[in-house]
């Protein structure tokens, strides 16, 4: 089943998104994107887990980080 992830899911004002069948591939692409475009974001174990928890099935509605919740560090 195809899965999806985007920067907007994490609360980042960025249009980047990716889809893939593998969560590992999505996380690999996300790590590369963060290191190239969002250098201010530390991909700490906590952020990595937060990002991974926001991966969803591509045909389901997105669950985004609310504006009231803790932002990505």
Please check whether residue 68 lies inside any domain of the structure.
no
What is the domain range of residue 20?
A: 3-57
Q: Report the C-alpha gap between 37 and 1 in whole angstroms.
A: 28
User: Domain total for the chain?
Assistant: 1
Exposed, middle or buried, 73 (CB in 10 Å: 0-12/13-18/19+)? exposed
pLDDT over threshold 60, residue 56: yes
Q: What does pTM read for this prediction?
A: 0.76
Question: In this predicted model, what pLDDT tens digit does every residue of 2-37 receive, in sequence order?
Answer: 999 999 999 999 999 999 999 999 999 999 999 999
Please check whether residue 50 lies inside any domain of the structure.
yes
Please check whether residue 9 lies inside any domain of the structure.
yes
């Amino acid at each position: 089943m195809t899965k999806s992830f985007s920067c907007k899911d994490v609360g980042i004002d960025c249009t980047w998104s990716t889809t893939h069948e593998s969560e590992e591939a999505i996380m690999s692409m996300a790590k590369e994107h963060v290191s190239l475009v969002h250098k201010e974001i530390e991909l700490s174990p906590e952020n990595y887990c937060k990002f991974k928890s926001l991966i969803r099935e591509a045909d389901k509605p997105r669950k985004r980080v609310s504006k009231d919740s803790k932002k990505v560090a």
